[in-house]
């Protein structure tokens, strides 16, 4: 692993994003807009918003990051830049970590915006600390990034990559506890939800919102999310092939 290469990739990805205002706007503004839309929908039942608002801070950043990053390595494959990089001293993990690092920085801005708006403009009522909510929101954005990079390494074309979104993210969205609390799911589905990363992302946000800080459960969930992030990147690196047909 070479940090020099990872930082070079991250700096390059950020330089490309700087030129792409629409994608940056999508990444930073969209989660906040979607949370605002939910607030508006539940304007007559603020308690409901307080219940789903927290989990949404996990779900929206994760899904949006997933979509953007799932085409990332495919773009590099189709333009031949990945071939060039693979003839250079660049590890597969260095490459994915570079992307993860660049999007983690975006996730920090994204989380700051969406958490600030949810807490102070939309009056989302939470018992925990705002900064802890911010930290888990960042982790959830990075989780979406890592899963997206994994899916990207798995897909053969950009067309296949965008199809990964409904295949990978929607089942997690249905089972993460947002629609039906996980302990009320049928036994089999509850067991499935126990091994899905988004469940822990939502539990972490839910825990902080309920006033269980990092010391009382939410920290464990955040740690599980971190493990999923690292596992997804490692699996993505293992799946990415230097030699192709």
Partner 1 sequence: MMKNAVECRDVVVIRGDREVLHGVDFDLRAGSVTGLLGPSGCGKTTLIRAIVGLQAKVTGDVQVLGLPAGAAKLRGRIGYVTQEPSVYFDLTVTENLRFFAAVLGVDSADVDRVIDAVDLRSHAHERVDRLSGGQQSRASLAAALLGDPELLVLDEPTVGLDPVLRRDLWELFHRLAEAGATLLVSSHVMDEASRCDRLLLMRDGVLLADDSPQALLDSAGTVDMEQAFLTLIDRKAGAR
Q: Residues interacting with partner 1, by CB under 8 A?
A: 4-5, 7-9, 11-12, 15-16, 19-20, 79-81, 83-90, 241-245
Least distance (Å) from partner 1 to the CB of residue 51? 42
* Residue 86 tokens, joined: 């693979």
Instruction: Quickly count: other Cβ atoms within 10 Å of residue 122's Cβ.
Output: 18
Give whichever of 45 and 83 is closer to partner 1, judged by the CB atom. Answer: 83
Least distance (Å) from partner 1 to the CB of residue 27? 16
* Residue 178 tokens, joined: 């947002």
CA dihedral 234, 191, 194, 28 (to 10 degrees): 90
Least distance (Å) from partner 1 to the CB of residue 141? 23
Listed in sequence order, the residues at least 6 apart from 97 whose beta carbon sits closer than 8 Å to its beta carbon are: 1, 6, 9, 233
Give whichever of 12 and 51 is closer to partner 1, judged by the CB atom. Answer: 12
Instruction: Quickly count: other Cβ atoms within 10 Å of residue 127's Cβ.
Output: 10
Q: In Å, how far from its chain's centre is CA 181? A: 21
Give whichever of 68 and 113 is closer to partner 1, judged by the CB atom. Answer: 68
Which residue is it, tokens 């979509």?
Answer: 67
Least distance (Å) from partner 1 to the CB of residue 20? 7
Least distance (Å) from partner 1 to the CB of residue 62? 26
Least distance (Å) from partner 1 to the CB of residue 88? 5
Give whichever of 81 and 116 is closer to partner 1, judged by the CB atom. Answer: 81
Residue 127 contacts residue 211 (beta carbons within 8 Å): yes
Residue 126, φ and ψ in degrees, nearest 5: -125, 155
b/e code 14-47 from CB counts within 10 Å (16+ = b): beebeeeeeebeebbebbbebbeebbeebeeeee
């Amino acid at each position: 692993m070479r940090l020099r290469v990872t930082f070079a990739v991250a700096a390059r990805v950020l330089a490309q994003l700087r030129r792409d205002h629409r994608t940056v706007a999508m990444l930073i503004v969209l989660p906040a807009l979607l949370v605002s839309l939910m607030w508006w929908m539940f304007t007559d039942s603020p308690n409901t918003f307080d219940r789903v608002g927290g989990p949404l801070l996990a779900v929206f950043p994760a899904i949006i990051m997933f979509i953007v990053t799932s085409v990332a390595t495919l773009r590099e494959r189709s333009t031949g830049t990945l071939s060039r990089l693979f003839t250079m001293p660049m590890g597969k993990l260095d490459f994915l970590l570079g992307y993860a690092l660049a999007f983690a920085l975006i996730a920090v801005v994204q989380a700051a915006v969406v958490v600030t708006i949810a807490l102070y403009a939309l009056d989302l009522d939470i018992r925990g600390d705002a900064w802890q909510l911010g930290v888990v929101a960042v982790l959830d954005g990075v989780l979406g990034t890592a899963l997206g990079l994994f899916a990207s390494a798995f897909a053969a074309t950009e067309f296949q990559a965008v199809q990964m979104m409904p295949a990978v993210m929607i089942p997690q969205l249905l089972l993460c506890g947002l629609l039906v609390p996980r302990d009320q799911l049928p036994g089999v589905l509850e067991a499935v939800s126990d091994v899905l990363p988004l469940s822990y992302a939502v539990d972490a946000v839910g825990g902080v919102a309920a006033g269980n800080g990092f010391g009382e459960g939410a920290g464990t969930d955040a740690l599980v999310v971190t493990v999923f992030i690292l596992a997804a990147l490692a699996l993505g690196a293992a799946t990415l092939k230097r030699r192709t047909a």
